[in-house]
Structures are given as C-alpha cells and as structure tokens.
Structure 1
Amino acid sequence: MTNPTYATTGSTGRVGDMVARRLAAAGVAQRLIVRDPSRAPELPGAQISVADYVDPSASTAALTGIKTLFMVSAAEKPDRVQDHFTFIDAAASAGVELIVYLSFFGAAADSTFTLGRDHWATEEHLRSSGIDHVILRDNLYLDFLPGLVGDDGAIRGPAGDGRVAAVAQRDIAEVAASVLLAPDGHRGRTYRLTGPQALTLAEVAATLTVALDRPVRYVAETLEEAYASRAVYGAPRWQLDAWVSTYTAIAAGEMDGVSDDIPALTGHPATSLADLLRS
C-alpha cells in the first residue's frame, strides 16, 4: 500500500466521514486518525492510526510522513482548546505542511457562542504554528435543525428574530475535499461556509412544517427559561452555556450573512433547508 501523505481526523463523525470518502473516491491514500479503530470507515487506500489529541506522542507518531491534514475539532469539553494546541504542535513536530481546519462561523475571542471562542483560539494557534493552513468557518449545520424540534413540535430558544445561515454538511465536505486535493490558491485563506439563505427560527419552523407534514413552531424563550428548560439534562454549566449561546448568538446577528464561498468553490449553489429535507 502507498504510504499516505494525507491524514483525516473525524472520520467516525458525519463531516469527517464524508471528507474521507471523497478523498478515497479520488484515489487518495490517506491515514484515518481515530480514537476508536472499530468505528473507522473501511475505505480503499486508507490506513488506520490510533491517536487522541491529548496525547502528543501518539499524535506525532500518527502524523509522521503526513503532509496534508484535515482537522476537525475535538469533542466538546472545558479544556479542548489545549487539546487542539497539543495536536497542532504534534503536527508541527511531525512535519505536516498544510492543515485544513474546520472552524466555526463568526469565531472570535468574544463571540456570543461560547464554543466559537475555542475555535478562535485554535485558529490563532494555527496561525502562529508556522504550518500553512486553510480555515473553513462553517455556520450551524442544516442537518441538525430538525433535531431542535421537541416532542411537542416546538423549537425553543432565546434567538428572537435573529437569522441563521445554516449550511449542509455535504457542502462543507465537498469544499474541504476540494481544498485538500488542490490546495494551491487556498493557503492562508479563511472561508465562510453558509447556506443560500439566512432564516429566522420561525422560518425554519415553517419549512419543517411543510417537509415533515406536521406542525412545527418556534417559541422564543427568555434566558432564564432557556436555562431552566435544559436543566433537566443534568449537563454541566459550561455545556448549558454552549447550548443556550447557540441561540443568543443568532439573536445577536452573529449567525447571519450569506457567503458565496460554497458556490465559488464547488460550482453549484449551496443546499437550502428545503432541498436538504427533500433529499
């Protein structure tokens, strides 16, 4: 088997799996870096390497010989920024030349969405690492919007009349694979990946009503109501903050704004919510 110069993280998740499959379909030998090899997809030309972002030795070993890396974020937890730093440092030690990092739309040091701050810190560390990079800032996943609907047919959250330009995971994967396969012209760039529309959650509910053939409505919560309605899950405070701030970021306008980066990079329009639900 050809020794891979490409590596993909996150292949046990939706976007990483789609990216890995696109690379395999293009005939690229790749190394799938996973924590649990039993969950890794079986792809032609793929090697499996076990490593965790928290383990610098295992990460450096897994990345040795790799020139081009697709990096998704680690599992959500309070110290995942340090995990990202450790993995990027391991990539630098291993001689990785290019990292394509899956970040988040509106990532900033003071982003309302708390996890957006993690992505900003990771971007900054990547910029200072000396490794060439491409940053893909995706908006909320269109694919997750149906999952916001509760058993009573309501989407609840403190989003007000704010808009979200949610994006299909398949479009993100197509962009990522195209950049990985032909990185010239992309190095140092940051792309904003959105759907073709910025919708209020009331408009999302109306679209879901038609697609699901059952009534869906949006119920605007106050901050106090949002925390109270999610307290039943027993999640730690940082996780509750992340969940609730997804909605307050929408209310603040930080998920709004449609980009033409997906059409420009793929040659076709970004997938709409209605189209995704029909497919």
Structure 2
Amino acid sequence: MTMPRTVLITGATGTVSTALMHALQGADVRLRALVRDESTAAGPRAYGAEVVVGDLDDARSLPAAFAGVQDVWLLTPNGPRAPEHNMNAVWAARQAGAERIVRLSVVGAAHDAPNRSGRLHALSDRETEQSGLRWTILRPHWFMQNLLNEAGDIAAGDTFSLNLASARIGMIDARDIAECAARVLLDTPDHHHGRTYTLTGPRAVTFDEVAERMSRALGRPITYVPVDDEAKRNTLLGYGVPAWIVDMLEEYARAYAAGWSNNLTTETAAELLGRPPRDIGDFARDHAAAFRSG
C-alpha cells in the first residue's frame, strides 16, 4: 500500500489556493498549507490541511514547511519581489527532496510581455523549468473573480467601470483553474512534466457581454462604463491599493485594451477538467448574491 503524497499549498489563504484545497478534499493526498500568520489558519484547517507558519519572503522560515513534501503548489503574490519568493520556494523544495512543482503563472508570461507581472512571472517560470524537479506551469487568463472587486458598485448603482475599453477576453473562473491544478497534482509526476498549460474560459467576451450576462443572472439591467486609465487609477489608489499593484493593473489594462491576448481561447481547461469550463453566465449566477444590495 502506497502512502498518500503530501502536497504543500502556498498562497493558502488566496482565491485559487482555497479553491484548490476544496478541489482536493477527499482525495488520497495529505494537505499542508503554508500561512504567514497563525491567525489565518482556520480556513485551510477547514479543508483538512495541516497548517505551518512560514513566509516565502523569509528563506529561513521554510525548511520545516517543506520537509517531507512530495508536491508543491507554488503561488507567489504579485509584487516586485515575486521572483525572489519563487526562488526561496524552489530552493526549499530542492533541499527537502520534493519531486514536483506545479506553479501558477499568468497568461502571456514572457520576457517581452507588455506588463511587469508577465515579465516577472517569466523569470520564475524559467527558474522552475531549470530546477531539476518535475514541473508543470499553469498560465490562466483574466480571472472572472476579478469582477467581484466591482460588486459594491454593481450592488449600489447597477454599473461597473473598468479601463479595459472593448477588450475581448477569454476569462476563466478561478474554480476551474483550481480544478485543473488538482487534476495535475492527482496524476503522476511524470504525466504533466515539462508542460505549460494556458487556461481560458470557453469563449472570449467583452465587458458589455459580461454586463448582459450579469443582467440576466440578477434580473435587472447592469451596465459596463469604460473609463480612462487615470480615473481607474484614482479609484484604486483611493481604496488604498498599493501604487505598484495599481501600475501593474494599468499595464494589463492598456495591453488588453490595445488587443493583447484578445480572442485567445484554448481547449486545455476542458481537456484537464473533462468538461467545458464555466462560462461567464455560470459565474454570474453562482455569485449573484455578491452583486445584490442588502
């Protein structure tokens, strides 16, 4: 009888990692979750994960977390030091004798990507590929869950404003990203080794189409109002979003608005999931309560 593999979940309190722990519930794996603060441990523990405190920012905090781990789900937070955090995790995985890294990257990650996030992810992707471990890289398109950031405006005024003009994006539900990751982690380390998977939803949609699907789900008209970069920038800074993140989001928005990665869809998510990925209509129905006032 083989022992279940231990999977270390980094970014354990975030959207995709939380959905991944949900997707792995009941599977023949041991979950271990890395959290920066013990106060956030309840969420991962609810999914049956052993919780360890450590920080990808602090290499000395990682050996205990990685000890005895076979598989690493590697998710680094957006920021200028993301490659350093990836480096610390990859080194800790190598030192601990881990077998495989499944890494969350971004759509279009490349050294010449028109956004700093894509360029930073390209550095970490390359390091992961050269790590000597088995590896798989997931590059998802724009998250449908980003729309939850607009929930307050939609609930209050039936409109949402983005600086994405008429971009047509093959956006994907974070739950599908997580279920694709679970599929990779539950297969043998060799099965997906050396593969980079670009994950999209079933079709590319404009934000006018998003508004129309949300209108159907909510039973009231929702309107998308395109705004310029400066207006969105001021809104985000007003909410206290760090300037580096605001700059990063603006670079993405400019690229998408100019046609970068527009109309990009792949069949990869459907192949990994064994079913079509969720459509924007599915997302809108499932999250309707978030967009209603009161």
Hey, what's the Cα distance between the residues in 2 that align with 1:234 and 1:268? 39
What is the root-mean-square deviation in Å for CA atoms of aligned residues?
A: 2.2
Match in the other structure for 2:60: 57
Deviation at 1:234, TM superposition (A): 4.7
Match in the other structure for 2:173: 168
Q: Tell me, yes or no, if the aligned pair for 1:157 and 1:244 is still in contact at 8 Å.
A: no
Deviation at 1:86, TM superposition (A): 1.6
Matches within 5 A, 1:1-279: 5-40=6-41, 41-42=44-45, 46-74=49-77, 76-148=78-150, 150=153, 151-183=156-188, 184-256=190-262, 257-279=264-286
Cα distance, 1:225–1:13 mapped onto 2, change above 3 Å: closer
- State the 4+ residue runs in structure 1 displaced beyond 4 angstroms: none
Cα distance, 1:124–1:214 mapped onto 2, change above 3 Å: same
Match in the other structure for 2:292: none
Single out whichever of 100-109 and 44-53 deviates more from structure 2: 44-53
Q: Tell me, yes or no, if the aligned pair for 1:12 and 1:34 is still in contact at 8 Å.
A: yes
**Per-residue CA distance 1:54-106 (angstroms, 9 max, x = gap):** 121221221122121111122x3332321222221221222221100011111
Deviation at 1:212, TM superposition (A): 2.2
Deviation at 1:187, TM superposition (A): 0.4
- How many residue pairs match? The answer is 277
Helix, strand or coil for the counterpart of 2:102? strand
Hey, what's the Cα distance between the residues in 2 that align with 1:218 and 1:112? 25
Cα distance, 1:275–1:14 mapped onto 2, change above 3 Å: same
Amino acid at match of 1:17: T
Match in the other structure for 2:289: none
Amino acid at match of 2:277: A
Q: Tell me, yes or no, if the aligned pair for 1:33 and 1:51 is still in contact at 8 Å.
A: yes
Amino acid at match of 1:266: L
Q: Tell me, yes or no, if the aligned pair for 2:164 and 2:226 is still in contact at 8 Å.
A: yes
Helix, strand or coil for the counterpart of 2:52? strand
Q: Tell me, yes or no, if the aligned pair for 2:138 and 2:199 is still in contact at 8 Å.
A: yes
Deviation at 1:48, TM superposition (A): 1.8
Cα distance, 1:44–1:83 mapped onto 2, change above 3 Å: closer
Unaligned runs of 5+ in 1: none
Hey, what's the Cα distance between the residues in 2 that align with 1:24 and 1:158? 38
Q: Tell me, yes or no, if the aligned pair for 2:135 and 2:194 is still in contact at 8 Å.
A: yes
TM-score, normalization: structure 2? Answer: 0.85
Q: Tell me, yes or no, if the aligned pair for 2:163 and 2:253 is still in contact at 8 Å.
A: yes
Q: Tell me, yes or no, if the aligned pair for 2:5 and 2:71 is still in contact at 8 Å.
A: no
Helix, strand or coil for the counterpart of 1:219? strand
Amino acid at match of 2:133: I
Deviation at 1:195, TM superposition (A): 0.7
Helix, strand or coil for the counterpart of 2:269? helix
Helix, strand or coil for the counterpart of 2:165? coil
Deviation at 1:138, TM superposition (A): 1.0
Hey, what's the Cα distance between the residues in 1 that align with 2:230 and 2:201? 30
Hey, what's the Cα distance between the residues in 2 that align with 1:63 and 1:153? 46
Unaligned runs of 5+ in 2: 287-294
Q: Tell me, yes or no, if the aligned pair for 1:6 and 1:69 is still in contact at 8 Å.
A: yes
Q: Tell me, yes or no, if the aligned pair for 1:8 and 1:71 is still in contact at 8 Å.
A: yes
Q: Tell me, yes or no, if the aligned pair for 1:135 and 1:191 is still in contact at 8 Å.
A: yes
**Per-residue CA distance 1:154-203 (angstroms, 9 max, x = gap):** 33233222211111111111111110010332101011111111111121
Helix, strand or coil for the counterpart of 1:218? strand
Identical positions, percent: 34
Helix, strand or coil for the counterpart of 1:6? strand
